[in-house]
Structure 1
Amino acid sequence: MTSPDARMLASQNIVLILCGNKKDLDADREVTFLEASRFAQENELMFLETSALTGENVEEAFMQCARKILNKIESGELDPERMGSGIQYGDAALRQLRSPRRTQAPSAQECGC
């Protein structure tokens, strides 16, 4: 269950994901997929079922969080330059990520590789 303290103590733009682990032990399930999905939706959480044993959806959980954080940076919801935003750039070379994604196809002079 999500503690309200996590949201109260973190940035208002916190990204949370609920991972239902042990997906590989479907026969021993105590919470149905539907119950977990509803809980996640009611609490505004992303949700994935994962298996640490097989690795299923483990990387995907991190990728979904990273995508959501990047989307928030690109939309201006999150500003890594602002102290207390809960996120910061780890390397000055990564600051180029701050520029918006290219919406046009590359011109003939630019390589589209």
Structure 2
Amino acid sequence: MSNLYGEFNQKIDHVYKVVLIGDSAVGKSQLLARFARNEFSLDSKATIGVEFQTKTLTIDHKTIKAQIWDTAGQERYRAVTSAYYRGALGAMLVYDITKRQSFDHVARWLEELRGHADKNLIIMLIGNKSDLGTLRAIPTEDAKEFAQQENLFFMETSALEATNVETAFLTVLSEIYRITSKKSLVANNEQESGGGSLLKGTEIAVPGQEPAGGSKSMCCMSS
């Protein structure tokens, strides 16, 4: 019980909601279990409805609580969309590198995500099950090219072998921290200087701060 109380007493600087999306059976729940609890189960059952896990970590000396939401990929559960995406700052869009159909559906998932979530959402495309390289159906270059076209981060992972799982989540969470910190800095600077930003020569896309009709750009690149 000491760990439980220790977590309650811990000062949390930020809470970041990140959602997992993608077809059923691509390994979303396994990625979450590996990241949150460092667990993997070969007989994992399909997710019913919505589940979420939390993990507390440190970024730039700040205590961040990551709240990772996992949903069933089946069509019949997609009524949860608007509530599921609400408040999300990041998203992991997952496909299975051995299932062509799961990659073909990525564009549709991305369209749904962008239709429901914040426009400045940090999105990472994840090709999961990289341990099954001999069964690969989607070349890495194809996914990387798609990610570059759509301004997404990209990484291949293996929940089974714990390859790149923590790196993928930390990349998204660190980018969220960077963006929200800049947003806070700009707001403070505008207050201090009567509306003029002190960050000369730096253009930052900030949710809700753009002038009406202004262009918006994601500051994400594939990695």
TM range (shorter): 0.5 to 0.7
Q: CA RMSD in A?
A: 2.1
Q: Secondary structure in 1 aligned to 2:122?
A: coil
Matched, 1:46 2:157: no
Q: Give identity over the alignment, percent.
A: 34
Segments of 5+ residues of structure 2 without an aligned counterpart are 1-105, 187-206, 208-223
* CA apart distance, 1:43: 1.3
Instruction: Provide the TM-score with structure 1 as the length reference.
Output: 0.64
- Structure 2 residue 170 is the aligned partner of structure 1 residue 63: yes
TM-score (norm 2): 0.34
- Write the deviation string for residues 60-108 of structure 1: whole angstroms up to 9, x where unpaired: 111000111011012118x9xxxxx6xxxxxxxxxxxxxxxxxxxxxxx
Of structures 1 and 2, the one with the larger relative CO (CA 8 A, separation 6+) is 1
Q: Distance in 2 between matches of 1:16 and 1:43?
A: 10
What's 1:35 paired with?
A: 142
Measured in 1, the distance between the counterparts of 2:182 and 2:145 equals 27
1:72 is matched with 179
Moved over 4 A (4+): none
Using the TM superposition, give the Cα deviation of residue 5 of structure 1 relative to its aligned residue in structure 2, in angstroms: 2.2
Q: Does 1:4 align with 2:111?
A: yes
TM-aligned CA deviation for residue 37 of structure 1: 0.3
Unaligned runs of 5+ in 1: 80-84, 86-113
